[in-house]
Structure 1
């Protein structure tokens, strides 16, 4: 399949989680009055320790950052559970996606879909032939690992998996990822695992592949701080891989000081703010279970077990589309994500929303019930 990851629905305006200015203009709703259920950002806001630390150390702006980001990489390694020398920092996860795709420059790439459109965009920019492995709705969008491994062939040079996946909120376990990595190794394929949402996963369900770094050097894990740490404006991302030669080659191609002094300093606070980290996980875990169990009782929708901080919903009620749901909610200042622009979801029956504070989540459920009750 070579269809573009992002599809257009004729005659309708579609919005992403960060399109608040566009929505403000289109619907006439002040962006300050919009609750962003489409952005997948931690509702607690930024780490209090980081906020206080940056406010009292603004003078770091007068000096260049450490070009090796030695202390920052130590903090990341301690937080994520890897070695400092396995860490590469970048200007957000977006830059890292571009760097890893650029260094491999694959003639052929395989992307597990439906998923984040930035992978396809970056692959197209380097001239890659992009193929897709579609997660199957009849399997509730869970990966069939045996079937997936059968599609991996010589000639494919790069494979991309978002785990937990956006927009499905489904996840691949470390055991299954080990099988995938073995198969990739046999076919000389490098695997890029985007773990943007892994930190939100339930405590009793490990989804991160960090522990596999000691076993495999044919993959990299990418993360950012935009979602879990609610700091998209800092533009800080990090990658982890045990292929140190690859990291060396990427560093040689990177612009120096791609991370500014404030983002460098922020790491020393946010990755050590364990009270904030615990509160985030407790909040998301509690609201995820409450909302999932509530929606399971609705006859008009189908929901898929979520592992991230958002949930995918399929509309079963005849005559109601995902665009109808989006418009109904946005008129009340509640912005969710119409998923009809994702590959494989063009039938306008899927929407996605993230978990905010309990009162706002309850407000959204009541709003959805007006249309889908």
Structure 2
């Protein structure tokens, strides 16, 4: 049995398990904004069509300038990419044949891309899954011999976020040990920009990766960006293919960054759904992570091998954790959806728990 390594692939999942997909499927395995893309995209779509006739800007304009204005930083510190996935592939080229630290459980793409470039990986593990506590002393010890440390903030799949004090301390230690830090902030939008390190950190050894996929519900467009020192931006630009970001994506990206009302509406909804589902699962005896993102991770009080497939047959797709180090399928991740979808899930969970 082969399960997909990522969420958002329900039909592959049903096929892998030999289960006939029901008519109604709600995919809680993916973490994209349930409101869908901002309305401004549809309203202005006719304006984007002419851009298909011309080549895109090689630096990803006008999106790069929009990102610079959004974060109040220099455009020279920004690299625009065909999704965050492209950035991780390019970073793996940068660190080819070197040594990287990964703290598990976390996004599997770091390990996949680094291994493909013969990067030696030092695998460390959180000391506590529920709180997302890092083994700071162990991390610092390995930073002396490593070239880069990968951290996901907030972490995928736990949703936990280290304190700003912890992160700033690690960034300072990175300068001392000459070890870069890659911060994956793909889900920071669902908390607040005040939680990001973009605004007030010297980028000497810090690389921050951002995605436009999750908050703005546009995974098909492929758009992301990296914020770091200009010297690292130039290095990555030399590794990237020319015209790596299409013009329509760049135009749409620059447009949606202006939609603060959409972001605040999403954050409020996500946090409300998160608090409600977390309380519900705890009331059923589940162990639940202290997530701050638009998803949470939970473990049954009494593990049951039928749990995952039971919900698939109901058309409710949870995220398995078979491919996450340290979780090994014992935990499940739920992305926050519409209030109606969350109620459907809670009702089916109630049926499950009351029958056992």
Q: For 1:102 and 1:188, how far apart are their aligned partners in 2? A: 18
Mark the runs of 5 or more structure 2 residues left unpaired by the alignment. none
- What aligned pairs does 1:200-215 form with structure 2 within 5 A after superposition? 200-201=190-191, 203=192, 206-213=194-201, 215=202
Contact 1:210 1:221 in 2 (8 A): yes
Q: 1:275 to 1:206 in 2, by over 3 A?
A: closer
Q: For each residue in 1:332-369, what CA deviation from the matched residue of structure 2 results, as whole angstroms up to 9, or x when unmatched?
A: 111111113211112x3211111000111111112122
Is the Cα contact below 8 Å between 1:325 and 1:368 reproduced in 2?
no
Question: In the alignment, is the contact (CA less than 8 A) between 1:114 and 1:344 conserved in 2?
Answer: yes
Distance 1:149 1:57, change over 3 A: closer
Q: Conserved in 1, the CA contact under 8 Å of 2:11 and 2:21?
A: no
CA distance in 2, matches of 1:80, 1:39: 27
Is the alpha carbon distance of 1:63 and 1:16 closer, same or farther for their aligned partners in structure 2, counting shifts above 3 Å?
same
* Alignment partner, residue 311 of structure 2: 329
Distance change in 2, residues 1:296/1:20 (3 Å)? closer
> Residue 181 of structure 2 is aligned with which of 181, 191, 195?
191
Aligned counterparts, 1:308-323, within 5 A: 308-317=293-302, 319-321=303-305
User: SS at the partner of 2:325?
Assistant: coil
Superposition TM-score, scaled by structure 2 size: 0.92
Unpaired runs of 5+ in structure 1? 1-10
Give the match for residue 345 of structure 1: 327
What is the SS of the residue equivalent to 1:329? Answer: helix
SS at match of 2:290: coil
Deviations 1:115-145 (A, max 9, x none): 1111111111111111112012366322243
Q: 1:8 maps to what in 2?
A: none
Cα deviation 1:53-103 (Å, max 9, x = unaligned): 224431111111122234211211233443322111011101101112212
Q: 1:149 to 1:112 in 2, by over 3 A?
A: closer
Out of 162, 172, 183, which is 2:152 matched to? 162
Equivalence for 1:363: 344
State the SS of the aligned residue for 1:69: coil
Pairs within 5 Å for 1:187-336: 187-201=177-191, 203=192, 206-213=194-201, 215-241=202-228, 243-299=229-285, 301-317=286-302, 319-321=303-305, 324-336=306-318
TM-score, normalised on structure 1?
0.88
Q: Calculate the aligned-residue CA RMSD, in Å.
A: 2.0
SS at match of 2:225: strand
* Distance in 2, Cα, partners of 1:183 & 1:220: 14
Q: Structure 1 residue 106: deviation in Å?
A: 4.7
Q: Is the 8 Å Cα contact of residues 87 and 239 (structure 1) preserved in structure 2?
A: yes
User: Quick check: 1:43–1:356 contact (8 Å CA) kept in 2?
Assistant: yes
On the 8 A contact 1:54/1:265 being kept in 2, the answer is no
CA distance in 1, matches of 2:129, 2:80: 38
**Is the aligned partner of 1:179 residue 2:163?**
no
After TM superposition, which residue ranges in structure 1, 4 or more long, deviate above 4 angstroms? Answer: 11-15
CA distance in 2, matches of 1:298, 1:169: 20
Distance of 1:168 and 1:228 partners within structure 2: 18
Distance in 2, matches of 1:35 and 1:288, equals 17
Q: How many residues are matched?
A: 352
Is it true that 1:92 corresponds to 2:83 in the alignment?
Answer: yes
Q: Deviations over 1:237-287 (max 9, x none)?
A: 10001x211111221222111111110111122111222212111111211
Q: Give the conservation status (yes or no) of the 8 Å contact 2:76–2:233.
A: no
Question: Which has the larger displacement, 286-295 or 77-86?
Answer: 77-86
